Structure 1
Amino acid sequence: MILAVAFVWLLALGAAIFLARQDIAAKPWLERGEIGGYSPDRREPAARTGLIFVLAIVGVLFALIASAFVMRAGDADWVAAPAPRLLWFNTGLLFAASFLLEGAARASAGVDARRADALLLAGALASGAFLIGQIVAWRELAGEGFGLGSGVAAAFFYLMTGLHGAHLLGGLVALAITFARTRGDVVSRSAALRFKLCAAYWHFLLLVWLLLFALLQGWGGGLVALCRTLIRA
């Protein structure tokens, strides 16, 4: 619950900053002549606005799941599933993918088509390797007797990692579309925007994964105790 509330407040702050940038208090219809500082080019592109709303919805979803995990952990029937060591390597792959896609976005803004395309492909490969690593981690966990139906803790593991992987897979589809539509074209604003939005999506997925990774590693013990104390109070 605490995680969900904190995340909602964070989203509210982000929305306030976003709306403030849109000059919602301005009254351009009352101005005469050239409207000072106002230009249609300053408006947030529709694609960027859409991504913000998508990330907000996905973020709330993961915050609720994380809160459920925190509140459920420690119950009598909770048998913690051991986090496979491979998750550390997978986390490194996701860091690399996020870094590579940020480089692709910067290369696109700098009108370097060859470098932007190469970094985009490298980021996609690192992301694909991450998904394969997650499947291998599932197999390792199932081999240790923690299958999907072995307990609540194991079910949470598969739910959180599977849902995150599904969103990453959707991102790979977006990367493929971006590469097909902007290959060799980083001069237009629309091409540069596509690269930038892909990088932003990957940064978001990285942050979500770090939260999930911390919970799966059992680093949220203090938070679990705090939540339980507040509920009992």
Structure 2
Amino acid sequence: MEQRKKIHPHKFTMWVGIASIVMMFAGLTSAYIVKKSQANWTTFELPVIFWYSTAVIIASSVTLWMALKAFKLREMIKYRSLIVSTLVLGVLFILLQIIGFNQLWENGFTLTKNVSFSFLYVIIGLHGLHVVGGAIALLVLFLKAFSRKQRNYDSVPVEVMSTYWHFVDFLWIYLLIFLIMIK
């Protein structure tokens, strides 16, 4: 009799969450395309700093991938330094996004000026909230990595966090390309 491999409940929950996030952003980008055809739509250029934030979030995905690998090999010193690096890069991404929003705002791209700007703020802002949630989860991994009480080598939390973080990385790249291509 063949035994079926079961998915861990935390991984299943994470995949359900990712699926719902994908549906939300699919709806938002679809609405963006529909609204773009209206006469009062204003095109805009994204600040260059969003490209820098893209490089930062990609680097953070690399460091988290390396951290997971180090954790599975029980190289805890390396794991700790890579988790710290990932957390710092995640916070840097958030700060660069805030600077980008401030640049948009200073250039007159306010929420009430045009519906195209409102869409921009909602789409990028919601992604930012998901990154903040991921940064909080990274902070929890950071605290556990440096805790003297707990020595648990269960890789599931690190795997779940890694998958989620890579997802928000990929989502940002998709959104950036979408906003550049579909002005």
Using structure 1 for the length normalisation, give the TM-score: 0.73
Residue 170 of structure 1 is matched in structure 2 by 133
Residue 44 of structure 1 is matched in structure 2 by 7
Q: How does 1:16-31 map to 2 (within 5 A)?
A: none
Deviates more, 1:93-102 or 1:170-179: 170-179
Pairwise CA distance, 1:186: 7.5
1:180 corresponds, among 143, 155, 159, to 143
Task: Encode CA deviations 1:147-199: one digit per residue, 9 max, x unaligned.
Answer: 121111111111111100001101111111222234477862x2x22111111
Using structure 2 for the length normalisation, give the TM-score: 0.92
Q: Does 1:129 align with 2:92?
A: yes
1:151 corresponds, among 114, 127, 130, to 114
Higher relative contact order (CA 8 A, sep 6+): 2
* Structure 2 CA distance for aligned equivalents of residues 121 and 155 of structure 1: 34
* Structure 1 CA distance for aligned equivalents of residues 145 and 81 of structure 2: 12
Residue 52 of structure 2 is matched in structure 1 by 89
Residue 28 of structure 2 is matched in structure 1 by 65
Count of paired positions: 181
* Structure 1 CA distance for aligned equivalents of residues 141 and 152 of structure 2: 14
CA contact (8 A) 1:78 1:152 kept: yes
Residue 71 of structure 2 is matched in structure 1 by 108
Residue 182 of structure 2 is matched in structure 1 by 220
Residue identity opposite 1:79 in structure 2: T
Pairwise CA distance, 1:132: 0.6
Task: Name structure 1 gaps, 5 residues minimum.
Answer: 1-35, 222-233
* Structure 1 CA distance for aligned equivalents of residues 162 and 74 of structure 2: 16
CA contact (8 A) 1:175 1:198 kept: yes
4+ residue runs over 3 A deviation: 182-187
CA contact (8 A) 1:105 1:195 kept: yes
* Structure 1 CA distance for aligned equivalents of residues 93 and 151 of structure 2: 27
CA contact (8 A) 2:83 2:141 kept: no
Q: Does 1:197 align with 2:160?
A: yes
Secondary structure of 1:116 counterpart? helix
Task: Encode CA deviations 1:63-118: one digit per residue, 9 max, x unaligned.
Answer: 11111111211320100122111111011011011111111111111111111111
Percent identity between the two aligned chains: 24
Q: Does 1:79 align with 2:42?
A: yes
Task: Name structure 2 gaps, 5 residues minimum.
Answer: none
Tell which structure's C-alpha radius of gyration is larger. Answer: 1
CA contact (8 A) 1:100 1:119 kept: yes
Q: Compute the RMSD of aligned alpha carbons.
A: 1.8
